[in-house]
Structure 1
């Protein structure tokens, strides 16, 4: 089973296709996956295969580890391009997320003021005021919208809460008034259970593009799988397909990048 379980609370730096030299901040346990999605393409594997036994790191542990790493990098004359909240699950699910963002802004300003702060999120906690306010403070508020098709979401992204509603998510994304970057995964082929996962067709792209026009994000990042996935049957979208989708986004006046 393919798996990348990240150390916690700090990992890297690593090279990101979209963000540059990224110092990772993992707010989930270091020995497993804790996420309210169970995406069939997740590099951390399926939730059931990596149940953690440790607790999530505390606010204090995150700040202490981050400061130590930034000091170490500074002594080597290294500077991260970005401090990225990602890892073994949904970062905004941490009960102290807002305060952790406050600490990270303070430490960034002290040690590497030119670096950006990014959060990679599946958008499920943006209804919570403290999470919304924290995301408004980060440089790159990167929120997932793979599609607006509910059936596809249930088969591929597999939200673990029955209340998940992509249309309510889109409504909430509009509240950011453009301070949001939308990240969308495009796939090809069929899953191991035979489910067609190709969301590059007009059936999916057209309604998704209408949602992007409504949200008016500062940027859209489209991408496809880059690492081994837990569902082995998935295929990459082609550069030509991604470029075609990218060009449609740009044509409606929204900045867009494609990563292959």
Structure 2
């Protein structure tokens, strides 16, 4: 099983299927994974296999490393389309997430004012006031909602500790449309032989009703693109993703699929 553990605090730029030329910002240790989910499709592998030993990067380390990279990109290219908080787990777990977002806005405005700031989050910390406030300030507040089925969440996303999908939904509504919902669709089975296909109407239609109630400004659906910890997972097909995009568009929602 191949996994990706990202350098910290800056990695890339990489070409993102959804965002373009993306300079990554990893607020988690460079030698392991910290996440409130343990998704069976995570490109970083299982939490238990990648326990970090290094400390989180400090606010100052993130600022200095980001500024150095932006100066280099200004001189040598390429120009980033987006500065993306992602990496080895859940970025909003960093205790200075709000302040680092403020610093990133300052540096973006100084060096690449046309670049957008994105955060890829599993939504588990949006009830924290400082996290909520910081996410309201970024250009792309991209929040995960793979399904509204609790059994599926526990089987595929595997939250650590307590997780209430209804609380997450209410937290998403609080953004009043200033968010992008990101949903993984996949097929196949877990390594224990449990079915994980969430492309049928049994999963899609209840999820769609909730998405309509949240009313995000965009919905990004996607499927697996890299090797996964569970080895029997399969990509959703183009046709299946296109069908879901059509349902979203018929509901008046802006939607896109990454295959």
Displacement of 1:134 in angstroms is 0.2
**Correspondence for 1:22:** 22
Q: What SS class does the counterpart of residue 174 from structure 2 fall into?
A: helix
* 1:37 correspondence with 2:32: no
**Counterparts of 2:236 and 2:155, CA distance in 1:** 18
Q: How does 1:166-205 map to 2 (within 5 A)?
A: 166-205=165-204
Matches within 5 A, 1:112-151: 112-151=112-151
Q: What is the match of residue 86 of structure 1?
A: 86
* Distance (Å, rounded) in 2 between the aligned partners of 1:230 and 1:196: 15
Name the SS for the 1:108 alignment partner: helix
Q: CA RMSD in A?
A: 0.6
Q: Deviations over 1:54-73 (max 9, x none)?
A: 01100010000000000010
Matched, 1:243 2:242: yes
The TM-score, its normalising length taken from structure 2, stands at 0.99
Query: For this pair of structures, how many residues does the alignment match?
Result: 259
What SS does structure 2 have at the residue aligned with 1:64? helix
Q: Residue 228 of structure 1 corresponds to which residue in structure 2?
A: 227
Structure 2, gaps ≥5 residues long:
none
Query: 2:62 is matched with which residue?
Result: 62
Structure 1: how far apart are the matches of 2:251 and 2:120? Answer: 24
Q: Normalising by structure 1, report the TM-score.
A: 0.99
2:89 and 2:27 mapped to 1: Cα distance? 8
Q: Which ranges of structure 1 fall in alignment gaps of 5 or more residues?
A: none
Aligned pairs (5 A) from 1:153-164? 153-161=153-161, 163-164=162-163
Distance 1:77 1:192 in 2: 43
- TM-superposed CA distance for 1:252, in Å, is 0.6
Deviations 1:130-155 (A, max 9, x none): 00000000000000000000000000
Three-state SS of the structure 2 residue aligned to 1:130 is helix
- Post-superposition offset of 1:192: 1.0
SS in 2 for 1:176: coil
Structure 1 segments of 4+ aligned residues over 6 angstroms from their partners: none
Deviation at 1:77, TM superposition (A): 3.9
1:218 aligned residue: 217
Structure 1: distance between partners of 2:251 and 2:201: 16
- 1:78 CA drift (Å): 2.6
